[in-house]
Amino acid sequence: MPKFVLNGEEIEFKPGQTIIEAARDYGITIPHFCWHPSLSVSGNCRVCLVEVEKMPKLVIACSTLAAEGMVVHTESERTIEARNAVMEFLLINHPLDCPICDEAGECKLQDYAYQHGVGESRFIEEKVHKDKRVLLGPYVMFDAERCISCSRCIRFCEEIAKDPELTFVQRGDRVTIVTYPGEQMDNPYSLNTTDICPVGALTNRDFRFKARVWEMSATKSICTGCSRGCNIEIWVRNNEILRLTPRYNPDVNGYWMCDHGRIDTFKFVNADDRVDGPHVRREGKLVKAGWDEAYSAAVSELKSFAKDEIAFLGSPHATCEDNFMLAKFARSVIGSKKIGFMRKEDASFGDDILRKNDVTPNTLGTEIIFDSYLKPTLNFNGILEAINNGKIKALFVMEEDLAANNSEIENILTKLDLLIICAVNFNKTTALADVVFPAAAYAEKNGTMVNFDGIIQRLKPAVATLELDRALDGMAMSRLDKFGTHYDRWAQGKKRDARSSWKIIAALASVMGQKMKYDMAEKVFEEMAASIDVFKGLDYDKIGESGTKIKFEPAAASK
For other proteins, the binding residues (CB under 8 A) are 98-100, 104, 132-133, 208-212, 214-215, 479-480, 483-484, 487-490
Torsion, CA 220, CA 349, CA 315, CA 340, rounded to 10: -150
* Smallest distance, ligand SF4 to C-beta of residue 235, A: 17
| Cβ proximity of 442 and 316 under 8 Å | no
| Cβ proximity of 61 and 18 under 8 Å | yes
Which residues on neighbouring strands pair with residue 499, listed in sequence order?
Answer: 439
Q: How far apart are CA 333 and CA 513, in angstroms?
A: 9
Quick one: what does residue 187 bind among ligand SF4, other proteins, none, with the CB cut-off 5 to 8 Å set by partner type? none
Assign 3-class secondary structure to 289-321: CCHHHHHHHHHHHHHCCCHHHEEEECCCCCCHH
* Smallest distance, other proteins to C-beta of residue 30, A: 29
Show the CA angle centred on residue 204, arms to residues 200 and 206, nearest 5°. 145
* Smallest distance, other proteins to C-beta of residue 67, A: 46
Quick one: what does residue 209 bind among other proteins, ligand SF4, none, with the CB cut-off 5 to 8 Å set by partner type? other proteins
Quick one: what does residue 483 bind among other proteins, ligand SF4, none, with the CB cut-off 5 to 8 Å set by partner type? other proteins
Nearer to ligand SF4, 89 or 287 (CB): 89
Within 10 angstroms of residue 559's Cβ, the number of other Cβ atoms is 14
Which residues on neighbouring strands pair with residue 168, listed in sequence order?
Answer: 177
Quick one: what does residue 258 bind among other proteins, ligand SF4, none, with the CB cut-off 5 to 8 Å set by partner type? none
Nearer to other proteins, 57 or 133 (CB): 133
Nearer to other proteins, 55 or 100 (CB): 100
Nearer to ligand SF4, 32 or 460 (CB): 32
* Smallest distance, ligand SF4 to C-beta of residue 102, A: 8
Nearer to other proteins, 3 or 132 (CB): 132
* Smallest distance, other proteins to C-beta of residue 242, A: 11
Dihedral over Cα of 305, 311, 317, 320: its sign: positive
Residue 382, amino acid: G
Nearer to ligand SF4, 202 or 313 (CB): 202
* Smallest distance, other proteins to C-beta of residue 214, A: 6
Cα–Cα nearest to 66, from 5, 8, 18, 1: 18
Nearer to ligand SF4, 256 or 502 (CB): 256
Q: Which helix (H) or strand (E) holds 319?
A: none
Q: Please, which residues have CB within 8 angstroms of residue 141's CB and are 6 or more apart in sequence? A: 133, 134, 135, 202, 203, 204, 205, 208
Quick one: what does residue 153 bind among ligand SF4, other proteins, none, with the CB cut-off 5 to 8 Å set by partner type? ligand SF4
Rounded to an integer, what is the distance from CA 482 to the centroid of its chain?
A: 24
Quick one: what does residue 521 bind among other proteins, ligand SF4, none, with the CB cut-off 5 to 8 Å set by partner type? none
* Smallest distance, other proteins to C-beta of residue 389, A: 56
Quick one: what does residue 90 bind among ligand SF4, other proteins, none, with the CB cut-off 5 to 8 Å set by partner type? none
Q: How far apart are CA 449 and CA 368, in angstroms?
A: 11
Nearer to ligand SF4, 177 or 403 (CB): 177
* Smallest distance, ligand SF4 to C-beta of residue 67, A: 29
Residues that bind ligand SF4 (CB under 6 A): 94, 96-99, 101, 103-104, 107, 109-110, 146-153, 177, 197-202
Residue 213, amino acid: V
* Smallest distance, other proteins to C-beta of residue 201, A: 14
Dihedral over Cα of 188, 192, 194, 196: its sign: negative
Nearer to other proteins, 21 or 215 (CB): 215
Classify residue 150 as exposed, middle or buried by CB count within 10 Å of its CB (0-12, 13-18, 19+): buried
Residue 503, amino acid: K
